[in-house]
Every structure is written in C-alpha cells, then in structure tokens.
Amino acid sequence: MPSDDAGIELTLRGLSWSVASSQRTLKLNLTVPLVAKNVDLCLFDCPAIEFSNSIVNDPSKYVALGELKGGIDPAGADEHWKTAGTALARIREAFSKLSLNPHLFYVGGAIEAAMAEEIWERLTSGWLENAANLTNEDQISSIAQWVCAI
C-alpha cells in the first residue's frame, strides 16, 4: 500500500483479518460462480495472500454472504429488500444443494416498518442470521463486530 492512502475507498475491493486461529478475507462485489450472480459482501475462510480464483470457486471457503442496499429513500426501501431477499434466497438454495449453510446477512439504507417485520421473521427463524439499518450507527457497529467474529 502507498504511504498516502487518501482515496483508497474508491478502489478498495476487500479486507482481511485474523479471528481466533482463522484467517478471514472479505471481498466486495464479487461474482459467486455457484450462484452465477454478483454478491455484495463475501466473507472467506482464507488469508488475503492466498485469495485466488480457486478460493472463489470453492464453495466450502465461503463463511458468510451479504446483500447491501444503500438507497435511503423510504419509498424504494421495499423494492430494495425484495431484491435482496431474492438474491439471498438464490444464495441459500445454491449452497444448500451442496449441504453448505454459510451465514447470510442484510444491510439496508432504509428499512420501513413492514420490511422490518419480515426481516425480523427471517432472523428469528434462522433463515437470515443478521441484519442492520445502514443509517443506525449501533446496528452497523453490531453487524461489523459480528462479521469480524465469525
């Protein structure tokens, strides 16, 4: 990395860290071959230095997958959630065919009451493992801590 990292957020494609005895790499906006679609957030069980196409193509290396919908207009919030819900269902189905169950999560810029009820139902049933409102600092802190701990 250059010593002057101003503007790095414009080209950042991922992060890496250690948790317990595991190495984690989080990649942003990645096409997941098993799903054949782009997924906003993909957490892998591997150090960044080992990250490669073989890791991306190995479904057992996926620890968690998440959808991020940043639009904050309440009028479009329901559509964002429907799109994310469809994507998460597609992910769940693809991985379950291999008897794999990576953690699934959702982060939304606008979460309206009706959506919140549906999200809560999916959380309590275990279908979805975590969710956060992007505009709520406490929720973002909580989901970030969760992602870093799994």
pLDDT of residue 29: 92
Tell me the CATH class for 12-149. alpha beta
Q: Can you tell me the mean pLDDT for 107-135?
A: 88
| β partners of residue 53 | none
Residue pair 27/14 in contact by the 8 Å Cβ criterion:
yes
64: confidence class by pLDDT, cuts 50, 70, 90: very high
Per-chain mean pLDDT for the chain = 89
Residue 148: CB partners within 8 Å, gap ≥ 6? 17, 19, 24
Q: Where are the domains of the chain?
A: 12-149
pLDDT in tens, 68-88: 986 666 655 567 678 888 999
pLDDT of 67 higher than 80 = yes
Question: CB within 8 A of 9, min separation 6: which ones?
Answer: none
